Structure 1
Amino acid sequence: MNDDEPVLLHTEGRILHITLNRPRALNALTHTMVRGIDEALTGAADDDEVTAVVISGAGERGLCAGGDIRSIYEDARAGRRASVDFWRDEYRLNARIGRFPKPYVALMDGIVMGGGVGVSAHGDVRVVTERSRVAMPETGIGFVPDVGGTHLLAGAPGHLGTHLALTGRAIGAADAILCGLADHFVPSHRLADLTAALAPSATPAEITDTVRQHATEAPEGELDAHRAWIDDCYAADSVEEIIDRLLNSGLPAAKETADGLLAASPTALKVTLSAVRRAGRLGTLEAALDQEFRVSCRAFDGHDLVEGVRARIIDKDRAPRWSPADPGDVTAAEVARYFEPLGAQELGLSSI
Structure 2
Amino acid sequence: MEHTEVLVERSGQLGHLILNRPKAMNALNHAMVLAMMRALDEWEKDDGVATVLISGAGERGLCAGGDIVSIYHDARTGGNGSEQFWRDEYHLNARIRRYPKPIVTLMDGVVLGGGVGISAHASHRIVTERSRIGMPETGIGFVPDVGGTFLLSHAPGEMGTHAALTGSMVSGADAIAMGLASHFVDSTLLPTLVAELAERGADAVVGRYGQVPPESALVQARWWIDDCYCADDVGTILERLARVGDPAAQAAAETIAAKSPTAVTVTFAALRRARVLATLEEALDQEFRVSVRALRWPDFAEGIRAQLVDKDRNPQWQPASLAEVSQELVANTFAMVGDRELGLSRAEV
Same fold? TM cut 0.5: yes
Amino acid at match of 2:305: R
Q: Would the aligned equivalents of 1:104 and 1:123 in 2 still touch at CA under 8 Å?
A: yes
The Cα offsets for residues 146-195 of structure 1, whole Å up to 9 and x where unpaired, read as 00000101110001111111111101111000000001011111000001
Contact 2:78 2:296 survives alignment (8 Å): no
Give percent identity, aligned residues only: 56
Match in the other structure for 1:331: 326
Residue 291 of structure 1, aligned match among 286, 291, 311 = 286
* Residue of structure 1 equivalent to 2:79: 80
Aligned to 1:304: 299
Q: CA deviation at 1:3?
A: 2.5
Q: Which amino acid aligns with 1:319?
A: N
Query: Is the 1:13–1:199 contact (alpha carbons within 8 Å) kept by the matching residues of 2?
Result: yes
Query: Which piece of structure 1 moves more, 297-306 or 213-222?
Result: 213-222
Deviation at 1:224, TM superposition (A): 1.3
Report the Cα distance in structure 2 between the residues aligned to 1:214 and 1:98, rounded to whole angstroms.
Answer: 23
1:70/1:313 contact within 8 Å kept: no
Counterpart of 2:104 in structure 1 is 105
Report if the CA contact (8 A) 1:7-1:18 is conserved.
Answer: yes
What is the rounded CA distance, in whole Å, between the counterparts of 1:167 and 1:349 in structure 2? 29
Alignment root-mean-square deviation, CA: 0.8
TM-score (norm 1): 0.97
In 1, the alpha carbon distance for the partners of 2:76 and 2:229 equals: 35
- Does the 8 Å CA contact 1:140/1:264 hold for their aligned counterparts? yes
Residues 6 and 17 of structure 2 are in contact (CA less than 8 Å); yes or no, is this contact kept in structure 1? yes
One-letter amino acid of the structure 2 residue matched with residue 146 of structure 1: D
C-alpha deviation, 1:77, in angstroms: 2.1
Q: Which residue of 2 aligns with 1:29?
A: 28
Equivalent position SS for 2:7: strand
* Aligned amino acid, residue 208 of structure 2: Q
| Contact 1:151/1:283, CA 8 A, preserved across alignment | no
**Counterpart residue number, 1:263:** 258
Task: Look up the match of 2:219.
Answer: 224
Deviation at 1:70, TM superposition (A): 2.3
Alignment of 1:1-352 (within 5 A): 2-201=1-200, 206-352=201-347
Q: Give the counterpart letter for 1:241 in structure 2.
A: T
**TM-score, normalization: structure 2?**
0.98
- Structure 1 unaligned spans of 5+: none
Q: Is the 8 A contact 1:186 1:214 kept in 2?
A: yes
SS of corresponding position for 1:341: coil
Partner amino acid, structure 2, of 1:330: V
Instruction: Tell me the distance in 2 between the aligned counterparts of 1:52 and 1:182.
Output: 18
SS of 1:248's equivalent in the other structure is: helix
Q: Residues of 2 paired with 1:104 and 1:215: CA distance?
A: 16
Equivalent-residue separation in structure 2 for 1:310 and 1:157 (angstroms): 34
Q: CA contact under 8 A between 1:105 and 1:123: conserved in structure 2?
A: yes
Structure 2: state its 5+ residue gaps: none
Q: Distance in 1 between matches of 2:293 and 2:309?
A: 22
Name the CA distance, whole Å, in 1 between partners of 2:6 and 2:45: 20
> What is the CA-CA distance between 1:68 and the residue it aligns to?
1.0
Question: Separation in 2 of the partners of 1:252 and 1:129?
Answer: 27
Aligned length: 347
SS in 1 for 2:170: coil
